[in-house]
Amino acid sequence: MEKITLTERPDLKDQAEAAGFSFHTMYDEPYWDETSVYAFSLEQIEQDLEGPAEALHEMCREAVPYILRQEALLDRLEIPRAHRGWIADSWTRGEPELYGRFDFAYDGRGPAKLLEYNADTPTTLFEAASFQWKWLEDMLGRGQLPEGSDQFNGIHEALVERFREIIEQGENMHFTSVAGATEDYGTVETLAWMANEAGIIPHYMELDKIGLTEEGQFADNESRVIGTLFKLYPWEDLLRDDFAANLATSGCRFVEPPWKALLSNKGLLPVLWEMFPDHPNLLPAYFANDVPEAAQKLFAEQGVVEKPIFSREGQGIKITAPGLSEAAEPGPYDSHPKILQAYHPLPEFDGFKPVIGLWMAGGACCGMGIREDKSAITGNLSRFKPHFIRPGA
């Protein structure tokens, strides 16, 4: 793993705007940054990243029935009691998942360490699946990468195939996100294009335009009943929404399925550590009000990261380690219960610290995106960096 300085494409802005990548620059700062890129060997990708991600996915699936059997764990994860039976039924029925993203700390040498699992509403999809691949093709065409360079990126193809597996061709499928959230819309639009390629008929509407029919079914702003809905809106919010009482009886099929609410929660991290202690790709993690004495000593010596069980874009995270103290700006997640995870330093390249995002289509790891920041907390404005695999490496 190496960071390499490259020349930015002279027509980058035109290419981004032509592709609909409207948020390539935000607040007068680059979000997409190709002035430097990360290079990997094929062995690093296959053995250190792809394989562990798929193994962790299976571990997460094992965690679902483990959690469902324990009311105390459901309480700790703040799963509303009114919806627990419905969530359990969605798992028992085998409702399929679409996608997810694991975030890892990885320096190219030691085992990749899981930081968190974005199991329900992962974004950065367009950048990783589409614009990053176009960058690779352009760089190869311009002779700025070694001939035969590749990229760990089969995200588009894998998700098209996943749509074919879980949704009938010719079926109508609605897609929604919060109005005004440009990045969220970019992810939803990308997924809708993939669904369309899979033979599904996509319809988009903003979240606040969804209503209820007299029969208690969800409907769009053209009064069409919603049979299948992809919602880029987290389960922890939807389960507490005004419409929550209608979720189980609406007849609507949700993507991601309700059982993903158990995994899109930082409380998953101590659950995994309890189930698979000392796993090489996990970091010690505990609920903040239940930390054993040995772990308290480890945290004091190695450092600790405090995370709310619900959090987005680094909000509510605090890091305390030898020589380091960082905290995100106060936000809406601060009041939620916390978990504590052992601090594991991110590698540093030219003052920036990258986080590896590994994309899952069902249970298959299909690609990678990298975000970096000068802070140890990866936030909303952290830069997206492309990558390539060295030929013959």
pLDDT of residue 343: 97
Structure tokens at 307: 């995370």
Has this prediction a pTM greater than 0.85? yes
* 128-181: pLDDT as tens digits: 999 999 999 999 999 999 999 999 999 999 999 999 999 999 999 999 999 999
Among 65, 122, 91, 66, which Cα is nearest to 257's? 91
Residue ranges of domains in the chain: 2-265+350-389, 284-342
Which residues in the chain land under pLDDT 70? 314, 380, 393
- Give the strand order in the sheet containing 228-232: 201-206, 172-177, 228-232, 253-255
Q: What is the pLDDT of residue 70?
A: 97
Instruction: State the pLDDT at residue 380.
Output: 66
* Coil/strand/helix, residue 40: strand
CA Rg value for the chain: 21
- Could you tell me which residues are beta bridge partners of residue 326? 319
Identify the pLDDT of residue 393: 64
Give the position of tokens 């899979």: 198
| Cβ(160)–Cβ(198) below 8 Å | yes
CB atoms within 10 A of CB 327: 12
Q: Distance between CA 4 and CA 339 in Å, rounded?
A: 36
pLDDT (0 to 100) of residue 118: 96
